[in-house]
Amino acid sequence: MTHQSFAAVLFDCDGVLVDSESITNGVLRDMLEELGWKLSSGECMRIFLGKAVKDERGLIEAHTGQPLTEDWLVRFRERRNLGLMHGVQPIRNALECVVQVHHNFSGRIACASGADRFKVELQLDKCALMPYFQGRIFSGHELPRSKPAPDVYLAAAAGLGVAPGRCAVVEDTVPGVTAGVAAGARVFGYCPPEAGHDVPEALRRAGAAVLFADMAQLPELLGAGLQQRGVMPSGRA
């Protein structure tokens, strides 16, 4: 079974293409503490990983006793974007992986993120990934529902003119895997040993069909079109 078994590949952005979670999480933790909700970095990551902050309004308001205003969200994005502009880096081997997958699939790849478009485009541009996704970027902020709902992956598949069932989705969080599975795609779960990604067992329970620990592995895994659920070589399996 070759890569022709899939017609397109849909990549998440944060934690899959760009190493941004620690930067965003640090800004969020600091700003929540300013509101009165004190969390460790690990607690903040566990609660918010893979989720849009705006969608967690009720949770934040319950813990701070204050309304989460649009002004606060604007200031959060400004501070987050400043941190990303100065510090975001590509995930290890992600650029080489994207170049190869873009070639193998004749450009039928897309970036489907739960984040706002400005953040996604900023990061792809800073990490030299934009040429491979230009015109094929989809944001959950622009759809009725973000992850874990399937909307952004359904929109990306439709944008490429490919049935969702013929798409491979690459994700590293439970909400993202849940979204990909709900869209009807086959999900490849990226689970390296570094912090900022959900653990292999959690991704497997969410429905990831294949787990892997290094983006350098992905082009070959997509080509293999593995039928069985399983864990690829990983220090976290």
115 and 52 Cβ atoms separated by less than 8 Å: yes
Neighbours of 232 (CB within 10 A): 20
Query: pLDDT for 103-144, tens place per residue?
Result: 999 999 999 999 999 999 999 999 999 999 999 999 999 999
Query: pLDDT for 53-94, tens place per residue?
Result: 888 999 999 999 999 999 999 999 999 999 999 999 999 999
91 and 16 Cβ atoms separated by less than 8 Å: yes
- CA–CA separation, 237 and 235 (whole Å): 6
- pTM across the whole model: 0.85
